[in-house]
Structures are given as C-alpha cells and as structure tokens.
Structure 1
Amino acid sequence: MERGMRHGDPLSPFLFLMVAEGFNVLMNKAIEDMEFTGYGVGKDEDLIISHLQFADDTIIIGKRSCEGEKHKKGG
C-alpha cells in the first residue's frame, strides 16, 4: 500500500499551489493581527517582507520580538 502521490502525478502541482496559497493567507493574517512582523527593506524600510515563495521553496523573514517569543512558548 502506497501513501502520497507518485512522482510526476499531474495533480501534484495543483495541490502544492493550494497549500502554498493557504500558507500565504495565514502569513498575511498573522501580520494583520500583529502576531508576526516582517523585515523592512529599502532606504526608509518602507517595503516590508515577511515571506518569499518561488517554485517549491519558501523563506520566512521576520524580526524577533519578546512578544513573539512569549506567544510561541504559550506564555
């Protein structure tokens, strides 16, 4: 009995896109609710980057905060 999808399954990219888009929505919600802070770039740090996605790679970029650490630890 096999689990998962076979390599080259035509449904695989579609499922990946659904999960990637779901992650994108969750990250944007976390930023909106101030549970996560992205990293400011540029001369005035007016462009905030929280995550980058390309093909099957995802990079999460953020600032570390005491509030975030407490939230992560459940305190």
Structure 2
Amino acid sequence: MNIGDVAERSGVPAKTIRYYEDIGLVTPLRAANGYRSFREIDFHKLAFIGRARALGFTIEDCRRDYPEFCALTW
C-alpha cells in the first residue's frame, strides 16, 4: 500500500504517518524509486496508534504498549 492508501484505511493523515516514520513508530519498506510501501502490519499498527491517540494515550504509551497489543490480538 502507498501512504495515501494506508492513510485512508487507518484514518491517520499522511503527514502524521511521515512523522511517525521519522520517530521510528513505523518503518515501511522502500521501493527502488524511494516510495514507501506499507505492509498490512503497518496498517494495523497505525490504526492502533490512531485509536489510542484519540483516547488520550501519548506516543510513548503507544510505543510501549503496542507489542502487548500484538501479543493479545495476533
């Protein structure tokens, strides 16, 4: 998925996704042309972070709690 697709599906704006990439919350693959290529796991992570942020959790809360979330849901 490209950044527009994952932004639309997750409800997280593309600008925010780029910020999350800059701070290491998500690490999409890069195509030879440099474009981001998001996997399904990236989508789920962004959707989780988006919901958590909407509920008032901090970015650090999300960084800390996401591995536990994965263990419970996958």
TM-score normalised to structure 1 length = 0.34
**Higher gyration radius (CA):** 1
Instruction: Please state which structure has a larger fraction of its residues in strand.
Output: 1
Higher-RCO chain (CA-CA 8 Å, sequence separation at least 6): 2
